[in-house]
Amino acid sequence: MSTHNIWIHKGTFLLAAVGSAVGLGNLWRFPYLAGENGGGAFFLVYALTIFAVGIPILIAETMLGRASRRSPIMGMRFLAHTHHTARAWTSIGWLGGLSAFLILSFYSVIAGWAIHYTWQMLTGTLAGADAETTAAGFDALLASPTLLTLYHTLFIIASGLVVGLGVHQGIERGLRVIMPALFVILLVVLAYGVTHGDFTAATDFLFTFNIADLSLAGWLEAMGQSFFTLSLGMGAIMAYGAYMSGEVSLTRTAIAIAVIDTAVAMVAGLAIFSLVFGAGLDAGQGPGLMFVTLPLAFAEMPGGSLIGGVFFVLVLGAALSSSISLIEPVAAYLVERFDLTRPQAVFIMVVATWALGLLTVVSFNLWAENSLFHELFGRSAFALFELLTNILMPLGGLLIALFAGWVLTHSEVMKEMRTNTTWFALWRFLVRFVAPAAVAFVFLRAIPQIDGYLIPAIGAVVIVGAFAAGRTFLTDDNQAP
Ligand code: PHE
């Protein structure tokens, strides 16, 4: 028996998935990582991964959700059972749950920065400020664990309330306004960047491909970012796929999601880099890039306080529609497995993630250097979580590709995809061979280079742990039929 409701409107999945995909990953993470990794080569690996690996896995992950109609953990359990294959495949669900905790813990802290800037914009605090003042303002924000914790708390409570109270529908209606409006304001910022910044330098930076420029760590970051920006490989898409109407075409939906998501990242990237080069800022300055650059543009633009205020409100909307998709898979699992109510499940998830998020908070001040994390892992807690994200999401995607490509039957896939045999053959070739090989290739090159000897150990523990959990945690009476 399926335990899920199904969304009545055909377009709801697309809207929810775009809501999940478009968020801080496009506006904050893409420009900051591209900037740190020299631009063009990073962009090339990122874009290639999205189209050759991301889209096929997006189809695969949605398919697994829709075929099981359960939360990722229970769903993988069910599919492994009905296909008479190893229970270890449930590890896809467990890995996803782990990623959800890690990602949400820092996502919420960064979204908190947007709360700060919404406030600063609407009160006009930064109007007319120069580059030094805005940079100093950002540094002051980072230096305050109290402020960061406050904003982190506000954001995670808001996310929890949306999922816990089941007010997705309100969000859905909101998204129809938020997404187009966000895109329009980004275009306004881009236009400002073109006229007042250095657009040529921005296009040169992003589109001059010299693959030798990209370090091995950069390869891993570019691939990880493609998964991150599509919300791929950790169960969010699978959880939403479980609610998707059976009639909708997976192929077209997946392509639409990838195109929209990439368009937003590119406009954001071009706008930010035009401003960065125009104002002589440092493209490789790290996670603060967007928060130093855009407020500066709004400070100088006519009507900038208002436009900036609206912009940051929209950023928060986009971040919220992503964070709820991080809570959903874990919450749905807790509800299905332990018979909790939705609010109880969400409460557990949110409290645990909030606590973990404090490690990201102190990564920017108290434990910015010389912390325990630096000793053990050679980096701050935030940097460690980012690194783990870049490993866990492609790893989840790899397993999803293998399961969908090799375990699901031909007729099942045809039924889900509703496509002709050529597309089917192309998709199957990509999930069976290309996607796994691409992920494995990048892993084999980049992971041995990671400094901090505990990283490989953690990887091993995570994988073994996930498999063991998949085998033992669920007793037989919780098995799927
Ligand atoms: N894709 C989201 C973004 O770009 C982040 C996200 C990752 C959301 C994983 C859900 C799952 O902001």
Atom nearest to 99 CA in ligand 1: 9
User: Ligand 1, residues 231, 237, 389: which to mutate, most atoms within 8 A of Cβ?
Assistant: 231
Which ligand 1 atom minimizes the distance to the CA of 25? 4
pLDDT tens string 376-408: 888 999 999 999 999 999 999 999 999 999 999
Computed over every residue of the chain, the mean pLDDT equals 91
Please give the distance, rounded to the nearest whole angstrom, from the Cα atom of residue 326 to the centre of ligand 1.
8
CA distances from 38 to 198, 214, 443 (A): 17, 7, 21
What are the structure tokens assigned to 408, written together? 């699901």
Q: How many domains does the chain have?
A: 1
Residue 470 has pLDDT above 70, yes or no: no
pLDDT band at residue 471 under the 50/70/90 scheme: low
Residue 454 — pLDDT band, cuts 50, 70, 90? low
pLDDT at 161: 93
pLDDT exceeds cutoff 50 at 481: no
Spacing, Cα 230 to ligand 1 middle (Å): 6
Pocket mutation for ligand 1, best pick of 179, 316, 322 (most atoms within 8 Å of C-beta):
322
Ligand 1 atom nearest the C-alpha of 322 is 8
What is the secondary structure of 300-368 as a DSSP string?
Answer: HSTTHHHHHHHHHHHHHHHHHHHHHHHHHHHHHHHHHHH---HHHHHHHHHHHHHHHHHHHHHHTTTTS
- Convert the pLDDT of each residue in 10-34 to its tens digit: 888 999 999 999 999 999 999 999 9
* Token duo for residue 347: 């409460």
What pLDDT is recorded for position 1? 36
Q: Which of 29, 222, 19 is nearest to 107 (CA)?
A: 29
In a domain, 247, yes or no: yes
CA of 23 to the centre of ligand 1 (A): 6
Atom 7 of ligand 1, residue of closest alpha carbon: 231
90 touches 238 (CB < 8 A): no
* pTM above threshold 0.85: yes
Mean predicted confidence (pLDDT) in 252-260: 96
Atom of ligand 1 nearest to the CA of 325: 10
Rounded to whole angstroms, how far apart are CA atoms 364 and 144? 9
**Structural domain includes residue 400:** yes
Mean pLDDT of 269-291: 96
Instruction: Please give the structure tokens belonging to residue 18.
Output: 């775009």
| Cα atoms in the Cβ-side hemisphere of radius 13 Å centred on 60 | 34
Helix axes 289-300, 131-142, angle to 10 degrees: 140
Is residue 415 very low, low, confident or very high in pLDDT (cuts 50, 70, 90)? confident
What is the pLDDT averaged over residues 357-385? 93
- In the predicted model, is pLDDT for residue 478 greater than 70? no
In the predicted structure, residue 195 carries a pLDDT above the cut 50: yes
Residue 209 or residue 473, greater confidence:
209
pLDDT at 479 over 60: no
Nearest residue to 323 via CA among 155, 178, 119: 155
Nearest atom in ligand 1 to 24's CA: 12
If you average pLDDT over residues 451-457, what whole number do you get?
65
Q: What is the mean pLDDT of residues 310-336?
A: 94
Decide if 341 contacts 478 (C-beta within 8 A). no
| Rg for the chain, CA atoms, rounded | 21
**437 is a domain residue:** yes
Please say if the pLDDT value at position 469 is more than 70.
no
Spacing, Cα 54 to ligand 1 middle (Å): 13
Ligand 1, atom 11, residue with closest C-alpha:
231
Model pLDDT, residue 167 = 66
Domain of 292: which CATH number?
Answer: 1.20.1740.10
In this prediction, what percent of the chain has a pLDDT beyond 90?
79
Model confidence at 433, in pLDDT bands (50, 70, 90)? Answer: very high
> Tell me: the pLDDT tens digits for 37-94?
999 999 999 999 999 999 999 999 999 999 999 999 999 999 999 999 988 899 899 9
Q: Is 2 domain-assigned?
A: no
CA nearest ligand 1 atom 4, residue: 25
- 354 CA to centre of ligand 1 in angstroms: 17
Ligand 1, CB within 6 Å, residue ranges? 20-21, 23-26, 103, 228-229, 231, 234, 236, 322, 325-326
Structural domain contains residue 4: no
Residue 451 above 80 pLDDT?
A: no
Angle at 312 between CA 342 and CA 116, to 5 degrees: 85
Substitution site in 20, 28, 320 for ligand 1 pocket (most atoms within 8 Å of beta carbon):
20
What residue numbers bound the domain in which 401 lies?
12-479
In a domain, 3, yes or no: no
Q: Which of 323, 325, 400 to mutate to test the pocket of ligand 1 (most atoms within 8 A of CB)?
A: 325
Could you give the angle at the alpha carbon of 271 between the alpha carbons of 154 and 153, nearest 5°? 5
Residue 192 has pLDDT above 80, yes or no: yes
Mutate to test the pocket of ligand 1, among 229, 257, 324 (most ligand atoms within 8 A of CB): 229
Write the residue with the smallest CA distance to atom 9 of ligand 1.
231
Q: What is the CA(377)–ligand 1 centre distance, in A?
A: 25
Supply the residue whose CA is at minimum distance from atom 10 of ligand 1: 231
Instruction: Identify whether 1 is part of a domain.
Output: no
